[in-house]
Structure 1
Amino acid sequence: MVLPNFLIIGAAKAGTTSIAQYMKQHPQIYISPVKEPYFFSFEGQTPNFQGPGDSDTFSYAVTRLADYEHLFDKVNGETAIGEASVSYLHIPETAERISQHLSQVKILVILRDPAERAYAHFMHQIRDGHESTIDFSEALQVEDQRIQDNWMFPWHYKRNGFYFEQLSTYLSIFDARQIKVWLYEDLQKDAAGLLKEIFYFLGVDDTFTPDLSVRYNISGIPKNRTIFNLIDKPNLAKKVLRPLLPQKMRYKLRKSALEKPLMSKDIRNHLVNIYRDDILKLQDLINRDLSNWLS
């Protein structure tokens, strides 16, 4: 039986998909073929989430240990074995479940300015055709009701950004030496350097250089829904063209079909005020200057 010795636990919309894809290129690293199995968040559960698209999002969740073990059946000599599930950072009791199964696991965390993260997740939900409003302020206003109505965590735009609280839970359960935290800014400024640090942390060859030319799972609002769906959703045209277009070209086409309107200053100020205390405590916890998150 093979189980992970590292986990990428979040945050959502902080570059975890890109990082996982880059890590997959390393010959000493094996990452689950299911990018987000959610196992430690929902072990033994059958949640009945009610939000638009929630059933699709949860359809690839793995909730039985035997099925989770099967995700790692094809490990073949790799020494760093893991998976990435962004629900692990913020869903209560996840850290405790992880410790019960994987007490010595290494935990990778990438954090993003919580206001920007919330907005990126909002645009992600629009991109995927789930969000019914294009007004971010309105989505924030109805968030508490959506949570009460059992909408899945991708709808928890604001709630998911209290990182100090979330990390404190992990640090109360795991040795601090098992946890490594980076910022989304690190990925943007020096992706190669960030990957080198990850490789070193995992004890694999840190001189390996992955191809970093593609950014994955980019958020945005489709410029034209019909054209975007042709590029993004399963259809005959996509099936025919897929073998003819290199992966990099497909991702560039997808990116070009999206636009990213700026978040309004008023909404950002509102969110910064909500997160201020958490950010101030977080920067002391992780020993990083987060003053730009407060501006």
Structure 2
Amino acid sequence: MSGLDRPLDFSIVGAAKSGTSSLGRWLHEQPSLHVLQPKDSHYFFGQTGKHHWAGPRDEVFNKKILASREEMPAQLARVSSRVRVGEASAFYMADPATVTALERDLSPNGIAIAILRRPDERAFSAYMHMVREGLEPGSFEEGLLAEDQRIADGWQPIWWYRALGYYTQQVECLFDVLGRDRVHIMRYEDVVLDPVRALAPALAAIGTSITGGALTRQNAGGVPRNRALHRFLTEPRLVKRLGSKVVPRSTWSLVRSDLESRNLTRAKLPAHVRPALMADYLPDVRRLEGLTGLDLSTWNVAP
């Protein structure tokens, strides 16, 4: 049963830490498109009843899911019928029940957009995201070792460092539920290099197009140089809301993202971890190439 009065034209469904935030912001800034805000409200997790994640600070994640059940339909009603409207979550493709819930609220021509990033880099980016948030206490290797127990204990999918990089089964689910013609798979590197070209087939499928604009980096991982500044820039405080009143909301969002990015110290995946991690992924990568037709040969070597 559909939960929305108006079907969606598109949904960004993952993969987490593969540029979904950057893509969601970029699409939202196009005049012909609207991405329901905030991105990653995870509405369709709520439609499946999954809003009781039990990891560190997951109560915030749970509240976003519950709030979206009221806020998303109300926001959707305010969007012009002339605009293509969509929604975005970094985790949908990882959950078959959520994909099924999404299908019920997609228009007959609606599409799912998935971005696939080299899995070892994606896993480390997820780890650095949790380091940035002050939630990951150990090394990347320790996080990988703890992963199975964290999943068993009900921690939200951002903690699934290794598991979310096995893409083949996730893509197969998208194809099975939505049909191949309604799923648009893109390589992360193509989106970063030329987003207009990468998105053109997907947007043509829903009857619109875009002309350009910079794809700015959003939600990057790293170690904050100044924790107080990081908290100010990322938490929903009054000062942040005041900032959007001084300058236009879109401008304030870009300024805040730039300041947040500049405050982060980048780290690289430890060289001694990469070979074993990619050895685990390579059989799945080969299956994924056969399933999607994508050229993933560059994933076989160090970037």
For 1:287, give the aligned amino acid.
G
The reply on whether 1:129 has 2:134 as its aligned counterpart is yes
Task: Find the aligned partners of 2:120 and 2:261 in 1 and give their Cα distance.
Answer: 22
- The SS at the match of 2:8 is coil
Task: Find the aligned partners of 1:2 and 1:112 in 2 and give their Cα distance.
Answer: 31
Asked whether the equivalents of residues 228 and 254 of structure 1 are also in contact (C-alpha less than 8 Å), the reply is yes
The CA deviation at 1:69 is 2.7
Identical-residue share of aligned pairs (%): 28
The reply on whether 1:269 has 2:275 as its aligned counterpart is yes
Q: TM-score, normalised by structure 1?
A: 0.89
Residues 81-103 of structure 1 show CA distances to partners (whole Å, capped at 9, x for unaligned) of 21001221001322222334437
Asked whether the equivalents of residues 36 and 72 of structure 2 are also in contact (C-alpha less than 8 Å), the reply is no
Q: TM-score, normalised by structure 2?
A: 0.87
Match of 1:174 in 2: 178
Task: Find the aligned partners of 1:239 and 1:80 in 2 and give their Cα distance.
Answer: 27
Asked whether the equivalents of residues 43 and 64 of structure 1 are also in contact (C-alpha less than 8 Å), the reply is no
The reply on whether 1:77 has 2:57 as its aligned counterpart is no
Describe the shift of the 1:240–1:75 C-alpha distance in structure 2 as closer, same or farther (beyond 3 A).
closer
Task: Find the aligned partners of 1:237 and 1:60 in 2 and give their Cα distance.
Answer: 21
The reply on whether 1:22 has 2:51 as its aligned counterpart is no
Q: Of 179, 191, 195, which residue of structure 2 is paired with 1:191?
A: 195
For 1:136, give the aligned amino acid.
F
Asked whether the equivalents of residues 46 and 69 of structure 2 are also in contact (C-alpha less than 8 Å), the reply is no
Asked whether the equivalents of residues 49 and 151 of structure 1 are also in contact (C-alpha less than 8 Å), the reply is yes
For 2:294, give the aligned amino acid.
R
Residues 86-137 of structure 1 show CA distances to partners (whole Å, capped at 9, x for unaligned) of 221001322222334437231111111111111101111111222222x100
Task: Find the aligned partners of 1:228 and 1:63 in 2 and give their Cα distance.
Answer: 25
Asked whether the equivalents of residues 119 and 263 of structure 1 are also in contact (C-alpha less than 8 Å), the reply is yes
Match of 2:224 in 1: 222
Asked whether the equivalents of residues 34 and 71 of structure 1 are also in contact (C-alpha less than 8 Å), the reply is no
Describe the shift of the 1:29–1:138 C-alpha distance in structure 2 as closer, same or farther (beyond 3 A).
same
Match of 2:214 in 1: 212
Task: Find the aligned partners of 1:142 and 1:36 in 2 and give their Cα distance.
Answer: 25
- The SS at the match of 1:59 is helix
The reply on whether 1:96 has 2:64 as its aligned counterpart is no
1:154-173 pair list within 5 angstroms: 154-173=158-177
The reply on whether 1:110 has 2:115 as its aligned counterpart is yes
Structure 2 unaligned regions, length at least 5: none
Match of 1:289 in 2: 295
The CA deviation at 1:39 is 2.8
The CA deviation at 1:138 is 0.4
Residues 25-76 of structure 1 show CA distances to partners (whole Å, capped at 9, x for unaligned) of 2222222123123233342525432211111122111488666433411121
Asked whether the equivalents of residues 119 and 165 of structure 2 are also in contact (C-alpha less than 8 Å), the reply is yes
Describe the shift of the 1:145–1:122 C-alpha distance in structure 2 as closer, same or farther (beyond 3 A).
same
Asked whether the equivalents of residues 13 and 121 of structure 1 are also in contact (C-alpha less than 8 Å), the reply is yes
Between stretches 186-195 and 239-248, larger displacement belongs to 239-248
For 2:175, give the aligned amino acid.
L
Asked whether the equivalents of residues 55 and 155 of structure 2 are also in contact (C-alpha less than 8 Å), the reply is yes
Task: Find the aligned partners of 1:101 and 1:140 in 2 and give their Cα distance.
Answer: 35
CA-atom RMSD in angstroms: 2.4
Residues 232-262 of structure 1 show CA distances to partners (whole Å, capped at 9, x for unaligned) of 3355665665655743333222111111111
Describe the shift of the 1:273–1:213 C-alpha distance in structure 2 as closer, same or farther (beyond 3 A).
closer
Give the number of aligned pairs.
292
The CA deviation at 1:225 is 2.1
Task: Find the aligned partners of 1:226 and 1:101 in 2 and give their Cα distance.
Answer: 41
The CA deviation at 1:160 is 0.8
The CA deviation at 1:16 is 1.0
1:27-42 pair list within 5 angstroms: 27-42=31-46
Between stretches 217-226 and 159-168, larger displacement belongs to 217-226
Between stretches 282-291 and 239-248, larger displacement belongs to 239-248
- The SS at the match of 1:8 is strand
Residues 184-203 of structure 1 show CA distances to partners (whole Å, capped at 9, x for unaligned) of 10122112322444432321
